[in-house]
Amino acid sequence: MQLEDEALYFVPLGGSEQFGVNLNAYIYDNQILLVDCGIGFADERFPGIDLLLPDPAFLKERKEDIVGLIVTHAHEDHVGAVAYLWERFGCPIYTGEFTAAVLEHKFRDEGLKNVPVKAVDPQARVNIGPFDVQFVSVAHSVPNSFSLIIDTPQGRIVHSGDWNLDPKPVLGAPTDEKTFKDAGAQGVLAYIGDSTNAEVPGRAGSESDVEKGLEKEFKNCTGRIAVTIFSSNIGRVKSIVRAAKKCGRDVGVIGRSLHRMVGVAHSCGYLDDIPDLLNAEDLGFLPDDKVVMIVTGSQGEYRSALAKIARGDHRDVTLNKGDTVIFSSREIPGNERDINAVKNNLTAAGIAVITPRDTENVIHVSGHPCQDEIAEMLGWLRPQIVVPVHGERTQLDAHARFARACQVQNTIIPVNGSLIKLAPGKAETVDHIETGLLAVDMKRIIPADHPSIIARRKLQYTGVIHISIVMDAKGKVVGDLKTNLIGLIDQETAESQIQDRLEDEVFALIDDMTWEERLDDHFVSEELRIGVRRFMVHTLGIKPNTTVHVIRI
Ligand SMILES: [Zn+2]
Ligand SMILES: [Zn+2]
Tell me the CATH number at 271: 3.40.50.10710
- Tell me the average pLDDT across 494-517: 95
User: Any idea how long the chain is?
Assistant: 553
Nearest to 469 by CA among 412, 523, 415: 523
Are 241 and 319 contained in the same domain?
yes
**Ligand with smallest separation from the Cα of 164:** 1
pLDDT of residue 332: 85
Residue 76 β-bridge partners: none
CA atoms within 13 A on the CB side of 206: 13
**Model confidence pLDDT, tens digit, residues 131-153:** 999 999 999 999 999 999 999 99
Are 347 and 381 contained in the same domain?
no
Q: Is residue 108 part of a domain?
A: yes
| Ligand 1 centroid – CA 153 distance (Å) | 29
| Ligand 2 centroid – CA 73 distance (Å) | 8
**Model confidence pLDDT, tens digit, residues 359-374:** 999 999 999 999 999 9
| Ligand 1 centroid – CA 75 distance (Å) | 5
Are 234 and 161 contained in the same domain?
no
**Taking 90 as the threshold, does the pLDDT of residue 43 lie above it?**
no
Are 315 and 429 contained in the same domain?
no
Among 419, 447, 475, identify where a domain stops.
447
| Ligand 1 centroid – CA 320 distance (Å) | 34
**Taking 80 as the threshold, does the pLDDT of residue 459 lie above it?**
yes
| Ligand 2 centroid – CA 451 distance (Å) | 30
| The residue type at 103 | L
Are 395 and 322 contained in the same domain?
no
Whole-angstrom distance, CA of residue 297 vs CA of residue 4: 47
Are 218 and 298 contained in the same domain?
yes
**Taking 90 as the threshold, does the pLDDT of residue 44 lie above it?**
no
Say how many C-beta atoms besides its own lie within 10 A of residue 356's C-beta: 19
Domain count, the chain: 3
pLDDT of residue 391: 95
pLDDT of residue 350: 97
| Ligand 1 centroid – CA 360 distance (Å) | 25
| Ligand 1 centroid – CA 105 distance (Å) | 19
| Ligand 2 centroid – CA 139 distance (Å) | 13
**Model confidence pLDDT, tens digit, residues 231-244:** 999 999 999 999 99
**Taking 90 as the threshold, does the pLDDT of residue 447 lie above it?**
yes
pLDDT band at 276 (very low <50, low <70, confident <90, very high): confident
| Ligand 2 centroid – CA 250 distance (Å) | 31
Are 63 and 193 contained in the same domain?
yes
pLDDT of residue 271: 92
**Which H or E run contains 84?**
helix 82-89
| Ligand 1 centroid – CA 338 distance (Å) | 21
**Ligand with smallest separation from the Cα of 232:** 1
DSSP reduced 3-state for 488: coil
**Which H or E run contains 183?**
helix 177-185
- Tell me the average pLDDT across 340-347: 97
Are 87 and 211 contained in the same domain?
no
**Ligand with smallest separation from the Cα of 138:** 1
| Ligand 2 centroid – CA 14 distance (Å) | 12
pLDDT of residue 366: 95
**Ligand with smallest separation from the Cα of 40:** 2
| Ligand 1 centroid – CA 288 distance (Å) | 34
| Ligand 1 centroid – CA 62 distance (Å) | 28
As a whole number, the mean pLDDT across the chain is 95
- Tell me the average pLDDT across 289-294: 97
| % residues pLDDT > 90 (the chain) | 93
| Ligand 2 centroid – CA 369 distance (Å) | 12
**Ligand with smallest separation from the Cα of 74:** 1
**Model confidence pLDDT, tens digit, residues 219-228:** 999 999 999 9
**CB–CB of 353/347 below 8 Å?**
yes
pLDDT band at 470 (very low <50, low <70, confident <90, very high): very high
**Model confidence pLDDT, tens digit, residues 377-429:** 999 999 999 999 999 999 999 999 999 999 999 999 999 999 999 999 999 99
| Ligand 2 centroid – CA 396 distance (Å) | 14
Residues bordering ligand 2, an ion, CB closer than 5 Å: 77, 162
CA distances in angstroms from 514 to 502, 508, 518, 524, 534, listed in the order given: 21, 12, 6, 11, 20
| Ligand 1 centroid – CA 162 distance (Å) | 5
Q: What ipTM score was computed for the predicted complex, to two decimals?
A: 1.00
**Ligand with smallest separation from the Cα of 18:** 2
pLDDT of residue 275: 87
| Ligand 1 centroid – CA 88 distance (Å) | 24
**Taking 90 as the threshold, does the pLDDT of residue 281 lie above it?**
no
pLDDT band at 333 (very low <50, low <70, confident <90, very high): confident
**Model confidence pLDDT, tens digit, residues 120-130:** 999 999 999 99
Are 213 and 342 contained in the same domain?
yes
| Ligand 2 centroid – CA 29 distance (Å) | 28
**Taking 90 as the threshold, does the pLDDT of residue 2 lie above it?**
no
Q: Is residue 540 part of a domain?
A: yes
pLDDT band at 351 (very low <50, low <70, confident <90, very high): very high
Are 327 and 429 contained in the same domain?
no
| Ligand 1 centroid – CA 366 distance (Å) | 10
**Ligand with smallest separation from the Cα of 233:** 1
Helices 177-185 and 371-381, packing angle to 10 deg: 40
Range(s) of the domain holding residue 252: 207-358
In which region does residue 72 sit, left (phi positive, over 0), alpha (psi from -120 to 50) or beta (all else)? alpha
| Ligand 2 centroid – CA 36 distance (Å) | 9
**Ligand with smallest separation from the Cα of 15:** 2
| Ligand 1 centroid – CA 290 distance (Å) | 32
**CB–CB of 304/311 below 8 Å?**
no
| Ligand 1 centroid – CA 99 distance (Å) | 12
What lies within 8 Å, CB to CB, of 257 at 6+ separation is 231, 296
Tell me the CATH number at 525: 3.10.20.580
- Tell me the average pLDDT across 275-299: 93
In which region does residue 497 sit, left (phi positive, over 0), alpha (psi from -120 to 50) or beta (all else)? alpha
**Taking 90 as the threshold, does the pLDDT of residue 334 lie above it?**
no
Question: What sign does the dihedral 20-10-389-116 (CA atoms) show?
Answer: positive
Are 152 and 64 contained in the same domain?
yes
Q: Is residue 145 part of a domain?
A: yes
| The residue type at 194 | D
pLDDT of residue 1: 74
Among 318, 337, 358, identify where a domain stops.
358
pLDDT of residue 61: 94
Q: Is residue 3 part of a domain?
A: no
Among 417, 447, 477, identify where a domain stops.
447
**Ligand with smallest separation from the Cα of 196:** 2
Are 19 and 166 contained in the same domain?
yes
